[in-house]
Every structure is written in structure tokens, then in C-alpha cells.
Amino acid sequence: MLDYDFMRNAFAAAAIVAIVSGVVGYFLVIRGQTFAGHALAHVGFTGATGAVLIGVAPLWGMVLMTVLAGIGMGVMGERLAQRDVGIGIVLALSLGFGLLFLHFYTAFASQATALLFGNVLAVDAGTVWLLLALGLLSLTALAVISRPLLFASLQPELAEAKGVSLRLYAVLFLVIVALATAECAQIVGVLLVFTLMVGPGAAAQRLSGRIGTTILLAALLALLEAWGGIALAFYTDWPASFWISALSALVYLAVTVRHTLSLPLRGA
């Protein structure tokens, strides 16, 4: 399997994206913003299709649009959480614009399918290095703000009383989420970003109560799911995105069942 260059590129890209998604996804889960990754992915699709329409690489259009949307979400703060209908309309409108851009540039139709559902086996070496740069940037930025971000996430009232700017860290975090979302879409596609951004983090949270251990578990689960999905795709000729999403769902289901069955024992 590893004799092929495209498979080595796929495993390398998946490793980068999975680790970043697992770590960022943990913070998404504890902050109750799991919908953010899905929302940013839809907006990013519009950016990617618009970028191709003007002759720019899709990834850069996706990065730009997701970052701008992340800043907007962070600035809106709590008001955003109270406008589910508005968010849904914006997401639908974003996909609508994406389809409109495809109408004007029909030659991009095959690439659009890859954006929507992912095509990790088509990642080239240049994209791997670009994903690595974006991944390092995301993880470094998250490491810098992790302590006040955790404080603002777990005890927002106390953090604000201590002088921590909730809005500032909300904006900074959602910019990081935007970068991670753009990366993740290269592997599993816009419609399945939830798979690597949230599934591993949610499962890890049920396996451990320690923050450091949970973050490591989230990254490890995401990595195993991504690599396992690629390997299964190679041997079955089924889409890698399907296998990655299936593994993520199975892992979360297994962890949830285990957690549920263990509750009576803990109570006893």
C-alpha cells in the first residue's frame, strides 16, 4: 500500500489534518460550538468555488472565507447562539452561491465533488506541505491561547470577572477553527467536516476527565480513524471519506455505550 506516492501523501495529509482536528475539536466540544465547524465548512465551500471562478487555488478561497466567517461569529458572540434560523439561512445561502459559481464555471464540477465529499487520495506533495504549515500555525496559536481559552470556556463568568476578554478569545479561537476546517475539508470534504472536527473530541471527553489526556486521546482517535479509513478505502475501493465517517461514528457509539453502561456502577 505504501509503495504508491499518492498513498504516502494521503497518509501524511490525513495525519496532519487529524491531529489538528482532534485537538481543535476538543475545545469545540467543551465550548458547545460543535455547529461552528459545520457552519464554517459551508461558508468555505463558497469561498473555494468563488476562488476557482477568478483563477485562484480553492484552498486559499476556503481559508479566506472561513477566517472571515470565524471572525464574524466570534464578534457576534452570544447573539449568534440565539439565531439558529438565521444561521441556517446563511448556510443555505452559502451553498447556493457555491452552486451559482459552479454554474459559471462548469469545468470545476469534478473538483466541487471533491470539495463536498473529500478526496484524500488526490492530495499531492505540495498540498501536504501547505497543510503542514497551516496545521503548525493552528496548533501554535491554540497553544498560546489555550489557558485563558480553557478558563473562558469552563468558567466564563469568573474569567470575565478576572479581566479575561470573552469576545477576544472567542474570535481568536474561531479563526483557529476556520483554519482547521479548511484543512479538514481537504480530507473528508465540506459535508463531513463534523466527522473529524467533533467525533473524536466528543468520544475522548467520555473516556477521560483530565484535560491533557482528553486532548491527546482526541488527536489519537482522529488519527486512527483517518488512517484506518484510508487503509480500508485502499483495500475495498470504497470512498475514504465514507470509511472515516463510519469509523468515527462507530467509535463514538462504542464509547457512548460503554459510558452509559458504566454509570450505574459509578453510582453504586
pLDDT at residue 109 above 60? no
Residue by residue, DSSP assigns the chain as -TTSHHHHHHHHHHHHHHHHHHHHHHHHHHTT-HHHHHHHHHHHHHHHHHHHHTT--HHHHHHHHHHHHHHHHHHHTHHHHT-HHHHHHHHHHHHHHHHHHHHH-GGGHHHHHHHHH--GGG--HHHHHHHHHHHHHHHHHHHHHHHHHHHHHH-HHHHHHTT--HHHHHHHHHHHHHHHHHHHHHHH-GGGHHHHHTHHHHHHHHH-S-HHHHHHHHHHHHHHHHHHHHHHHHHH-S-HHHHHHHHHHHHHHHHHHHHHHHHHHHH-
Res 70: pLDDT? 76
pLDDT tens column, 33-55: 777 767 777 777 777 777 777 77
pLDDT at residue 93 above 60? yes
pLDDT at residue 131 above 80? yes
**267 — pLDDT class (breaks 50, 70, 90):** very low
**265 — pLDDT class (breaks 50, 70, 90):** very low
Average pLDDT, the chain: 79
**217 — pLDDT class (breaks 50, 70, 90):** very high
pLDDT at residue 1 above 90? no
pLDDT at residue 153 above 90? no
pLDDT at residue 99 above 70? no
**59 — pLDDT class (breaks 50, 70, 90):** confident
Domains recognised in the chain with CATH numbers: 5-197 (1.10.3470.10)
pLDDT tens column, 183-210: 877 777 776 777 888 889 888 888 887 8
